[in-house]
Amino acid sequence: MATQRIIDFLATRRPTGPCLVVDLDVVEENYQSFRRALPDSAIYYAVKANPAPEILRLLASLGSNFDCASVAEIEMALNAGATPSRISYGNTIKKERDIACAHALGVSLFAVDCVEEVEKVARAAPGARVFCRVLTDGAGAEWPLSRKFGCVPAMAVDVLTHAHALGLTATGVSFHVGSQQCDTEAWDGALADAAFVFNTLAERGITLTLVNMGGGFPTRYLKDVPTAQAYGRSIFAALRRHFGNRIPETIIEPGRGMVGDAGVIKAEVVLVSKKSVEDANRWVFLDIGKFGGLAETMDEAIRYPIVTARDEDRKEPCVLAGPTCDSADVLYEKTPYPLPISLTVGDEVLIEGTGAYTTTYSAVAFNGFEPLRSYVI
Amino acid sequence: MATQRIIDFLATRRPTGPCLVVDLDVVEENYQSFRRALPDSAIYYAVKANPAPEILRLLASLGSNFDCASVAEIEMALNAGATPSRISYGNTIKKERDIACAHALGVSLFAVDCVEEVEKVARAAPGARVFCRVLTDGAGAEWPLSRKFGCVPAMAVDVLTHAHALGLTATGVSFHVGSQQCDTEAWDGALADAAFVFNTLAERGITLTLVNMGGGFPTRYLKDVPTAQAYGRSIFAALRRHFGNRIPETIIEPGRGMVGDAGVIKAEVVLVSKKSVEDANRWVFLDIGKFGGLAETMDEAIRYPIVTARDEDRKEPCVLAGPTCDSADVLYEKTPYPLPISLTVGDEVLIEGTGAYTTTYSAVAFNGFEPLRSYVI
Of B73, B268, B364, which has the smallest distance from its Cβ to A360's Cβ? B364
- Domain interval for residue B306: 261-376
Contacts 24+ apart (CB under 8 A), B197-201: B197/B132, B197/B134, B197/B153, B197/B156, B197/B157, B197/B160, B197/B173, B198/B172, B198/B173, B198/B243, B198/B248, B200/B157, B201/B157, B201/B160, B201/B161, B201/B170
Report the mean per-residue pLDDT for chain A: 95
Give the per-residue pLDDT at A287.
98
Asked if residue A94 and residue A195 are part of one domain, the reply reads yes
Question: What DSSP line would sit under B174-194, residue for residue?
Answer: E----EEE--TTTHHHHHHHH
Asked if residue A269 and residue A247 are part of one domain, the reply reads no
Please report residues of A whose CB lies closer than 8 A to that of B148. Answer: 283, 321, 327, 329-330
Burial, B245: exposed, middle or buried (Cβ in 10 Å; 0-12, 13-18, 19+)?
exposed
What average pLDDT does this structure show over A131-155? 83
**Cβ–Cβ of A275/B327 closer than 8 Å?**
no
CA-CA distance, B347 to A67, in Å (whole number)?
28
Of A69, A94, A271, which has the smallest distance from its Cβ to B116's Cβ? A271
Asked if residue B338 and residue B369 are part of one domain, the reply reads yes
| Domain stops at, among A204, A236, A254 | A254
Share of chain A above pLDDT 90, in %: 87
Question: What DSSP line would sit under B20-59, residue for residue?
Answer: EEE-HHHHHHHHHHHHHHSTTEEEEEEGGG---HHHHHHH
Task: Output the CA–CA distances (angstroms, integers) from residue B298 to A295, B180, B332, in the order listed.
Answer: 12, 15, 9
Question: What DSSP line would sit under A214-258, residue for residue?
Answer: -------SSS----HHHHHHHHHHHHHHHHTT-PPEEEE--SHHH
The answer to whether residue A25 is domain-embedded is: no
* Residues, chain A: 377
**Cβ–Cβ of B146/A271 closer than 8 Å?**
no
DSSP label of B257: H
CA-CA distance, B187 to B181, in Å (whole number)?
10
Report the CATH number that the domain containing residue A127 is assigned in CATH.
3.20.20.10
At residue A70, φ and ψ (nearest 5 deg) are: -160, 170
Residue of B73, B151, B299, B325 to mutate for A, most A C-beta atoms under 10 A: B325
Give the per-residue pLDDT at B138.
65
Give the per-residue pLDDT at A36.
93
The answer to whether residue B313 is domain-embedded is: yes
Measured torsion, CA atoms of residues B149, B155, B161, B167, in degrees rounded to the nearest 10: -30
Of A155, A271, A274, which has the smallest distance from its Cβ to B117's Cβ? A271
Closest CA to B268 of B7, B22, B19: B19
The answer to whether residue A3 is domain-embedded is: no
**Cβ–Cβ of A71/B345 closer than 8 Å?**
no
Cβ-proximal residues to B106 (8 Å cutoff; 6+ apart), any chain: B83, B84, B85
Of B73, B154, B270, which has the smallest distance from its Cβ to A95's Cβ? B270
What average pLDDT does this structure show over A43-48? 98
Please report residues of A whose CB lies closer than 8 A to that of B48. Answer: 324-326, 366-368
Asked if residue A234 and residue A347 are part of one domain, the reply reads no
Asked if residue A250 and residue A107 are part of one domain, the reply reads yes
Asked if residue A248 and residue A122 are part of one domain, the reply reads yes
Task: Mark residue B49 as left, alpha or beta (left: phi above 0; alpha: psi -120 to 50; beta: remaining).
Answer: alpha
Give the per-residue pLDDT at A160.
98
The answer to whether residue A54 is domain-embedded is: no
Please report residues of B whose CB lies closer than 8 A to that of A282. Answer: none
Report the CATH number that the domain containing residue B327 is assigned in CATH.
2.40.37.10
Closest CA to A212 of A375, A11, A30, A38: A38
Total tally of structural domains belonging to chain A: 2
Q: Is the pLDDT confidence value at A115 over 70? A: yes
| Domain stops at, among A225, A254, A283 | A254
**Cβ–Cβ of A365/B135 closer than 8 Å?**
no
CA-CA distance, A239 to A237, in Å (whole number)?
5
Name the pLDDT band for A142 (thresholds 50, 70, 90): low
Of B47, B275, B333, which has the smallest distance from its Cβ to A151's Cβ? B275
Of A146, A154, A370, which has the smallest distance from its Cβ to B330's Cβ? A146
Q: Report the residue of chain A nearest B48, measured CA to CA.
A: A367
Please report residues of B whose CB lies closer than 8 A to that of A275. Answer: 135, 147, 150-152, 155
What average pLDDT does this structure show over A282-292? 96
| Domain stops at, among A230, A254, A278 | A254
Q: Report the residue of chain B nearest A156, measured CA to CA.
A: B276
What average pLDDT does this structure show over A238-266? 96
Asked if residue A151 and residue A272 are part of one domain, the reply reads no
Asked if residue A207 and residue A106 are part of one domain, the reply reads yes
Give the per-residue pLDDT at A116.
97
Asked if residue B229 and residue B344 are part of one domain, the reply reads no
**Cβ–Cβ of B368/A47 closer than 8 Å?**
yes
Q: Which candidate in B19, B101, B114, B325 is catalytic?
A: B325
Half-sphere exposure of B11 (CA within 13 A, CB side): 8
Are A18 and A287 in contact by the 8 Å Cβ rule? The answer is: yes
| ipTM confidence | 0.94
Total CB pairs under 8 A between chain A and B: 211
Most confident range, picked from A78-82, A134-138, B217-221: A78-82
**Cβ–Cβ of B287/A47 closer than 8 Å?**
no
Name the pLDDT band for A301 (thresholds 50, 70, 90): confident
Rg of chain B taking only CA atoms, in angstroms: 22
Please report residues of B whose CB lies closer than 8 A to that of A46. Answer: 325
The answer to whether residue A27 is domain-embedded is: no
Task: Output the CA–CA distances (angstroms, integers) from residue A194 to A151, A201, A238, B138, in the order listed.
Answer: 12, 11, 11, 50
Q: B270: distance to nearest CA of chain A, Å?
A: 6
Please report residues of B whose CB lies closer than 8 A to that of A146. Answer: 327-328, 330, 333
What average pLDDT does this structure show over A220-233? 87
The answer to whether residue B126 is domain-embedded is: yes
Strand ranges inside chain A, DSSP E: 19-22, 41-46, 65-68, 87-89, 109-112, 129-133, 141-143, 169-174, 179-181, 210-212, 249-252, 263-273, 282-286, 306-308, 315-321, 330-340, 348-352, 373-376
Asked if residue B214 and residue B294 are part of one domain, the reply reads no
Q: Where are the alpha helices (DSSP H) in B46-93?
A: 53-62, 71-79
**Cβ–Cβ of B368/A271 closer than 8 Å?**
no
Give the per-residue pLDDT at A216.
87
Of A151, A275, A328, which has the smallest distance from its Cβ to B276's Cβ? A151
Cβ-proximal residues to B104 (8 Å cutoff; 6+ apart), any chain: none
The answer to whether residue B33 is domain-embedded is: no
Burial, B126: exposed, middle or buried (Cβ in 10 Å; 0-12, 13-18, 19+)?
exposed
The answer to whether residue A1 is domain-embedded is: no
Give the per-residue pLDDT at B150.
95
Asked if residue A284 and residue A174 are part of one domain, the reply reads no
Give the per-residue pLDDT at A41.
96
pLDDT digits over A174-195, tens only?
999 988 888 888 899 999 999 9
The CA-CA-CA angle for residues B127, B69, A357, to 5°, reads: 140
Active site residues of A: 325
**Cβ–Cβ of A364/B367 closer than 8 Å?**
no
Catalytic-residue membership of B68: no
Q: Report the residue of chain A nearest B346, measured CA to CA.
A: A95
Series of mean pLDDT values for 10-residue runs along chain B (377 residues): 95 95 98 94 97 98 98 98 98 98 98 98 98 83 77 96 98 92 90 97 98 90 86 94 96 96 98 91 96 92 95 97 94 95 97 96 93 97
Q: Report the residue of chain B nearest A301, measured CA to CA.
A: B328
What average pLDDT does this structure show over A361-376? 94
Residue of B118, B133, B300, B327 to mutate for A, most A C-beta atoms under 10 A: B327
**Cβ–Cβ of B364/A369 closer than 8 Å?**
no
**Cβ–Cβ of A323/B93 closer than 8 Å?**
yes
Give the per-residue pLDDT at A3.
96
Amino acid at A47: V
Asked if residue A324 and residue A285 are part of one domain, the reply reads yes
